[in-house]
Amino acid sequence: MVETKEEKKVKITDLKLDTEEMAQAGLHFGHKTSKVHPKMIPYLAGARNTIHIIDLEKTKEKLTEALRFIEQLISENKILLLVGTKVQVKDLVKSMAQELTLPYVIERWVGGTFTNFEIIKKRVEYFKDLERKKKEGELEKYTKKERAKIDQELRKLEIKFGGIKDLSRLPDAILVLDMKKDDLAIKEARMKGIKIIAISHTNADPTLADYPIPANDDAISSVKYILEKVKEVILKAKPKLPAQ
């Protein structure tokens, strides 16, 4: 029996978004009350010992909206770029992105990645060509000193562009794990009309994202919880390749 299009869609309820699990992962812990962004107030449940507490029912609601959007995006073969440059989440982001074949940025955001995409693309092509030359032994004609210099350049280019080297066009959406740290990525995405999904901590402006997820962006357990739900949706929503 052939599944209908609707039956193929991920049921968000299957993801078991549970506020108790969210609490165990620490999604509800905000910053000090003195650091609150006024636009985050509707998402707060109160304060405990001068620390704001995020309303997890609101988190559940907004995370569901974000997951529905990601589900639709992936099912339509559109591009989602992951942005997580905070030291404690880099490995997590890289591992997930590589597993799901998603583009990613885990080092400092290179200014112009979106707004000067054609120039960035040329640098990426140069990087890929250099990689190819090394792989095919074309660099053997150079001296040891020259090859060492090229290797150093390759390492720098890998840090800058390694996660986006297969990005042939601008992504359709970005998932940002820290709105304050990666504000430039958000600014450029807004300028280019790229949809923004972002974890919005209590010191961030949630209105800068199309799909804000009110949650703690400092605790690795909190970020991991959200990424695991995103991963689950992507795995289920990815168009299946026809059998050979």
**Do residues 185 and 101 both lie within one domain?**
yes
The answer to whether position 127 is within a domain reads yes
The answer to whether position 242 is within a domain reads no
pLDDT tens profile 7-57: 445 565 567 799 999 999 999 999 999 999 999 999 999 999 999 999 999
How many angstroms separate the CA atoms of 140 and 111, rounded? 34
Tally of domains in the chain = 2
Domain with 183 in it: 5-109+170-237
The answer to whether position 244 is within a domain reads no
**Do residues 150 and 182 both lie within one domain?**
no
pLDDT tens profile 92-142: 999 999 999 999 999 999 999 999 999 999 999 999 999 998 888 888 888
How many angstroms separate the CA atoms of 206 and 40, rounded? 7
Sign of CA dihedral 13, 215, 225, 237: positive
How many angstroms separate the CA atoms of 63 and 28, rounded? 13
Q: Is 77 left (phi over 0), alpha (psi -120 to 50) or beta?
A: left
Are 3 and 27 in contact by the 8 Å Cβ rule? The answer is no
**Do residues 134 and 42 both lie within one domain?**
no
> Taking CA 25 as the corner, what is the angle to CA 21 and CA 28, rounded to the nearest 5 degrees?
90
Judged against a pLDDT cut of 70, whether residue 244 lies above it is answered with: no
**Do residues 181 and 158 both lie within one domain?**
no
Q: What are the start-end ranges of the H helices in 100-219? A: 117-135, 144-161, 183-191
Rounded alpha-carbon distances, angstroms, from residue 201 to 55, 122, 124, 177, 194: 12, 35, 33, 10, 21
The answer to whether the pTM exceeds 0.85 is yes
pLDDT tens profile 74-105: 999 999 999 999 999 999 999 999 999 999 99
Name the residue among 73, 36, 91, 55 with its Cα closest to residue 171: 73
**Do residues 19 and 80 both lie within one domain?**
yes
Helix (H, G, I), strand (E, B) or coil at 214: strand
Q: Tell me the pLDDT band of 179, cut-offs 50, 70 and 90.
A: very high
Secondary structure element (H or E) that encloses residue 8, with its range: helix 5-8
The answer to whether position 243 is within a domain reads no
> Taking CA 209 as the corner, what is the angle to CA 223 and CA 217, rounded to the nearest 5 degrees?
20
User: In the prediction, which pLDDT does 4 show?
Assistant: 47
**Do residues 134 and 17 both lie within one domain?**
no
